[in-house]
Structure 1
Amino acid sequence: MHTIKTLAAIAAMLSLGACSNMTQQDKSTAVGAAIGGVAGSVLTGGSTAGTVGGAAVGGVIGNQVNKPPR
């Protein structure tokens, strides 16, 4: 089950290349969420709450890292 979740997350990250109309901040948010979801899953042994929590935290971090200047 853990391998399936990891492969699904990797496939999701690779499919982000097709999102050419996304801004760089949108892409960073999506990549951060994907990486955070994988990390949360790994750190909590595949827990759904850990995966969702990791995706949320990763998305916020990805969004803030590539924030456009004001």
Structure 2
Amino acid sequence: MKRIFLLALTASTLSLLSGCATWDNMSSREKAAVGGAAVGGVIGAAASDGHLLGTVGGAAIGGVIGDQLGK
């Protein structure tokens, strides 16, 4: 069940990123923040066995890290 959840989360994250209509108008820092949030959400979900708080927390931390690395 955990694998199915992670696969679905990864697929939905990738489809969300590929469907961003404003991706071309984003700066590299904003793109890095979005990518970091996506990766952080997947890692947070994996680390917390799919709990919502772990997923959202991972996405928030990943977004901040991506933003700082995109400077």
Runs of 4 or more, structure 1, over 6 Å off, are none
Within 1, Cα distance between the matches of 2:29 and 2:17? 15
**Residue 19 of structure 2: SS of its match in structure 1?**
helix
What is the one-letter code of the residue matched to 2:39?
I
Quote the offset at 1:16 in angstroms. Answer: 4.8
* 40 and 63 in structure 1: CA distance in 2 versus 1, 3 angstrom threshold: same
Within 1, Cα distance between the matches of 2:20 and 2:35? 8
1:4 partnered with 2:28:
no
Identity %: 39
Alignment counterpart, residue 63 of structure 1, candidates 47, 63, 67 = 67
What is the one-letter code of the residue matched to 1:38?
V
Residue of structure 1 equivalent to 2:46: 42
Residue of structure 2 equivalent to 1:52: 56
| Contact 1:12/1:34, CA 8 A, preserved across alignment | no
**Residue 8 of structure 1: SS of its match in structure 2?**
helix
**Residue 50 of structure 2: SS of its match in structure 1?**
coil
TM-score of the aligned structures, taking structure 2 as reference length? 0.81
RMSD: 1.8
Quote the offset at 1:19 in angstroms. Answer: 0.6
* 42 and 17 in structure 1: CA distance in 2 versus 1, 3 angstrom threshold: farther
